[in-house]
Amino acid sequence: MQVQSQPALPLEQRPTVVKVQDLTKVYKLYPNNKARLKEAFLKKPFHQDFYALKNVSFEVKEGECFGIIGKNGSGKSTLLKILTGVLSKTSGEVNVNGRIAALLELGAGFNGEYTGRENIYLNGQIMGYTREEINDRIDDIIEFAAIGEHIDQPVKTYSSGMFVRLAFAISINVDPEILIVDEALSVGDAFFQLKCYKKFTDLKRKGTTIVFVTHDLGSVIKYCDRVIVINEGEIIDEGEANDMVDVYKQILVDEEMLKGKIEIEQKAEQKSLNPDEVFNDYYVKSNIRLNEKILDYGTKQAEIFELEVVDKNNYPAPQIQKFDELTVRFKIRFNEEIQDPIFALTFKDIKGTEITGTNTMYEGLNGFTGKPGEIYEAEFTQKIPFQSGSYFISLGCTGIDVKGNFSVFHRLYDIAEVNVISSKQDTVGFFDTESDVKVKKLN
């Protein structure tokens, strides 16, 4: 009798395999070595506390791909090192239930005098595997690394590419219960990277729990079930990948997410609104229906206040036929003088992946100054070769402020949806390149 596999439980019903509660990591920063000695002998503080992590709490469910994103220095790698036991915590609780494999500092446990084969056994034992368990996996590891006869040469003779390939192969082929990845999927050449991502996908499909840190936002959206955003050692937000990527982008452009969050709450309090509803307060006129929830932020030194999406006949175009021409126009009002403003348009798919986009700087249309009270209209016209489905338009007005820093004056993420329809079968990928395909018999 054939036994049917049971469907996976929803995330909220699965057991918790990683639980972090109020995790804090503090480093003591001394101005010089003299201060360090004075503190040791005088028993008085001569240091400043630096909080790499501060009261971080989250849970990861069994079989979940859990993403952690944030700018450099936000505490992501510190968090992963504590999860794997490489670093000790200052306070808080960390509970991990399962055997871990970590793709952190690849090759950190290698002995340069040992051969590649000997280092496989050494690293496997460090990870908690018996020699017999490593024997069962060694052929797969060697095949994945694809370094040929060099496997029996000392690793000190390896090129950097061979070194990281072997290190990655060891960590990814031990069938861990929990896999922790820190920016390690982009090692080696393009073909090896393809193998890495395929193996990563296979592990996710098998139900391996994955904690994933990367700056590749496309991979975050593609793989992660849930994501946290860390900034300056604290969790800023938690939720679905697409939403958290937008939050992270906001941090990148102005690095004032905490301030912005306070301003949103104050604005909500003034208007007696739910803070989430303030995102709807964008006051943009449009000829097509706007999304109910738009991420709207910026200094508002210039503001986008009107949007038109039209087809080649200048009719409103909430739907467009594949390969037809689509025009997106939006109007910007300048509240302050801005030199060389940049107007931008981006298309994203329903998963939040940026498919394409451009701006006036790329197109060579900058070089003017917007003055207070002036209104400009940006018009983007393009043929749409996208596969059939729903796509979201994001608009932006950015530039360099008076202090010489990149600034977002106004940005509207996912402001409107456009549906692409097609009379032919879609091809593979994001775009249809309108290939001219011929087949003929030669004999």
Q: pLDDT tens-digit profile of 12-27?
A: 788 999 999 999 999 9
7 — pLDDT class (breaks 50, 70, 90): low
Q: Does residue 199 sit within a domain?
A: no
Burial of 330 (0-12, 13-18, 19+ CB in 10 A): buried
At 390, give phi and psi (nearest 5°): -95, 140
pLDDT tens for 249-288 read 777 765 544 444 545 455 455 545 454 444 444 478 899 9
Percentage of the chain modeled with pLDDT above 70: 89
Q: Does residue 366 sit within a domain?
A: yes
Q: Does residue 377 sit within a domain?
A: yes
Q: Does residue 149 sit within a domain?
A: no
Q: Does residue 362 sit within a domain?
A: yes
Closest to 415 measured CA to CA, from 322, 242, 313, 289 = 289
Q: Are strands 302-310 and 285-286 parallel, antiparallel or unpaired?
A: parallel
CA distances to 39, 300, 359, 409 from 405, rounded to whole Å, are 40, 16, 18, 12
CA distances to 75, 98, 101, 213 from 21, rounded to whole Å, are 16, 18, 22, 19
pLDDT score at 184: 67
pLDDT score at 1: 39
Q: Does residue 173 sit within a domain?
A: no
229 — pLDDT class (breaks 50, 70, 90): very high
pLDDT tens for 150-196 read 999 998 998 888 888 888 888 788 778 898 888 766 666 777 777 78
The residue ranges of DSSP E strands in 62-121, in sequence order, are: 65-69, 91-96, 100-103
The two three-digit tokens of residue 354, written as one number: 């940026």
**Position of tokens 């939006």?**
330
**Position of tokens 């206040």?**
305
Q: Does residue 84 sit within a domain?
A: no
Q: Does residue 109 sit within a domain?
A: no
- Looking at the structure of the chain, the number of domains it has is 1
Q: What is the DSSP letter of 278?
A: G
Task: Identify the CATH number of the domain in which residue 279 sits.
Answer: 2.70.50.60
Give the span between the Cα atoms of 231 and 250, in whole angstroms: 11
| Residue range of the domain that includes 364 | 274-421
Give the span between the Cα atoms of 147 and 87, in whole angstroms: 32
Q: What is the DSSP letter of 86?
A: S
